[in-house]
């Protein structure tokens, strides 16, 4: 009788993949990843007669969710599979590889394309058979269902807590601290928040206010300088109204409010307008530079006025004689002046006076008493046009009020009476760091 020799089984290179969603316990000497690997190694050893052999490389993802394929060890495993270095992928449970049915179908495509078998130690099936695929899909469906149910439970818990006004964590708003998992008012920061809301009503522009707050080096709870995006989030945060918000719905909160209803409504009436409209409003509400300073030679005050043609607005100064239909002599004195023309003439005169030697000497003498170097004073006088262009309209109007005593409209032109004694004070203001930063 002839001896029949048994043909040795083909060697199958087996790779073990392990995963744990959280980092909790990973620092232990024997953790969940070690337990998964030990069970998989024992299973591979039991299949030694079938030619199974463990590869040296380890594929372990610790602290990474199974809801994504962007995992370092998994990506390395897929790369090795594409390079033909793996024949069998072994896991403790299929949800270690993926919790998403769609993601798992992508992985199975990679396995099939490279002739790789997928094996779960605790769930007996083989992906090379139709029954194994059916079992796999059923198990994956239940794994995904469990994940979605868990997520729904968490969402329901968060919603229920929000409806009771409970603080559920997250970024701590400026104006509050957290004690015993509850928001409590930080008095100093709360005053800052109220000041920001109040200033927004006065300014009417988040862009301008954010620029001012940055120049003042005001910082958020995390220590970063406040920018426009942070300012919008702060102004829209209903936590300051003493409310807890979930999915856009506000509920009475456990914490105390910082902003009262009246101040909140005033701010949000402004925010309710479009940014373009707010910008237009800011321009139209800018104080006229010569308001209260412009008069006709007959003594009649000239008041700011404007008309609109299409999308363009034209500003004027109009004599009260004309507005009140008073009889005026035919003396050639204009009763209506374009605002840009009148204001431009006054600014030009101010610039001319600032360049005169008399004004320079006067300013240097006064600023020297404030320990401001002569060179700095001269440089500020020379740079006045640039500094003026950078100022906000409201600041420009304030400076005009300080420098101009009266502007008289005559038949021959404008007579401008300047307060030269106020020039040094204006230049001192323009030279301070805060004014220069606010103008940037």
pLDDT digits (tens, 9 = 90+) for 242-253: 887 766 677 777
**Strands 302-309 and 312-319, how do they pair?**
antiparallel
Kindly give the interhelix angle for 357-368 and 374-382, rounded to the nearest 10 degrees: 140
More confident residue, 286 or 233: 233
Residues catalogued as catalytic? 46
- Residue 69: count other Cβ atoms within 10 Å of its Cβ: 15
State the pLDDT at residue 315: 86
State the pLDDT at residue 125: 64
Among 291, 294, 290, 287, smallest CA distance to 407 is for: 294
Query: pLDDT-derived band of residue 129, with 50, 70 and 90 as boundaries?
Result: low
More confident residue, 40 or 427: 40
d(CA 279, CA 264): 20
Residue 434 has pLDDT above 70, yes or no: no
pLDDT digits (tens, 9 = 90+) for 73-101: 999 999 999 999 999 999 998 788 887 76
Domains and CATH numbers, the chain: 12-143 (3.40.50.1390), 176-283 (3.90.1750.20), 294-431 (no CATH)
Q: What are phi and psi of 281, to 5 degrees?
A: -60, -40
Query: pLDDT-derived band of residue 305, with 50, 70 and 90 as boundaries?
Result: confident
d(CA 41, CA 53): 10
DSSP 257: P
State the pLDDT at residue 235: 92
Q: Taking the CA atoms of 140, 144, 147 and 153 in sequence, report the sign of the dihedral they define.
A: negative
d(CA 271, CA 273): 5
State the pLDDT at residue 74: 93
Q: Are 228 and 206 in contact (CB under 8 A)?
A: yes
Q: Which of 33-47, 135-149, 313-327, 357-371 has the lowest mean pLDDT?
A: 135-149
pLDDT digits (tens, 9 = 90+) for 330-374: 888 888 889 888 998 998 888 888 888 888 887 777 766 666 677
DSSP 335-390: SEEEHHHHHHHHHHHHHHHHTSHHHHHHHHHHHHTTT--HHHHHHHHHTHHHHHHH
Average of per-residue pLDDT values in the chain: 80
State the pLDDT at residue 89: 93
């Amino acid at each position: 009788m002839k001896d029949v020799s048994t043909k040795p089984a083909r060697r199958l290179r087996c790779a073990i993949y392990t995963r744990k969603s959280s980092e909790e316990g990973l620092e232990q000497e024997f953790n969940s990843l070690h337990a998964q690997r030990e069970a998989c190694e024992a299973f591979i050893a039991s299949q030694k007669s079938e030619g199974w052999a463990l590869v040296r490389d380890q594929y372990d993802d610790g602290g990474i969710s199974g809801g994504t394929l962007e995992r370092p060890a998994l990506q390395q495993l897929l790369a090795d599979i594409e390079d033909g270095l793996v024949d069998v992928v072994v896991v403790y449970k299929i949800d270690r590889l993926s919790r998403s049915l769609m993601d798992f179908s992508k992985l199975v495509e990679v396995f099939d394309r490279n002739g790789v078998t997928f094996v779960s130690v605790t769930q007996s099936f083989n992906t090379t058979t139709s029954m194994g695929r059916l079992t796999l899909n059923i198990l994956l469906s239940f794994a995904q269902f469990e994940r979605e149910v868990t997520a729904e439970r968490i969402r329901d818990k968060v919603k229920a807590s929000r409806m009771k006004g409970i603080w559920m964590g997250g970024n701590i708003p400026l104006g509050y601290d957290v004690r015993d998992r509850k928001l409590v008012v930080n008095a100093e920061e709360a005053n800052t928040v109220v000041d920001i809301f109040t200033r927004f009503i006065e300014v009417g522009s988040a862009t301008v206010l954010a620029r001012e707050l940055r120049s003042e080096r005001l910082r958020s709870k995390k220590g970063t300088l406040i920018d426009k995006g942070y300012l919008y989030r702060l102004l829209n945060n209903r936590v300051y109204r003493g409310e807890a918000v979930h999915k856009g719905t506000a509920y009475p909160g456990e914490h105390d409010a910082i902003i009262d209803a009246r101040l909140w409504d005033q701010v949000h009436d402004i925010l309710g307008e479009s940014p373009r409209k707010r910008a237009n409003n800011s321009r139209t509400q800018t104080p006229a530079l010569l308001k209260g300073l412009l008069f006709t030679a007959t003594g009649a005050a000239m008041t700011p006025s404007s008309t609109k043609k299409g999308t363009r607005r034209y500003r004027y100064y109009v004599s009260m004689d004309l507005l009140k239909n008073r009889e005026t002599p035919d003396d050639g004195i204009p009763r209506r002046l374009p605002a840009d023309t009148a204001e431009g003439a006054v600014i030009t005169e101010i610039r001319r006076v600032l360049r005169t030697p008399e004004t320079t000497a006067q300013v240097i003498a006064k600023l020297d008493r404030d320990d401001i170097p002569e060179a700095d004073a001269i440089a500020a006088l020379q740079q006045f046009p640039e500094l003026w262009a950078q100022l906000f309209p409201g600041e420009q109007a304030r400076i005009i009020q300080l420098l101009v005593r009266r502007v008289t409209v005559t038949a021959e032109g404008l007579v401008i009476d300047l307060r030269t004694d106020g020039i040094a004070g204006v230049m001192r203001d323009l030279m301070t760091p805060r004014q220069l930063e606010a103008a940037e």
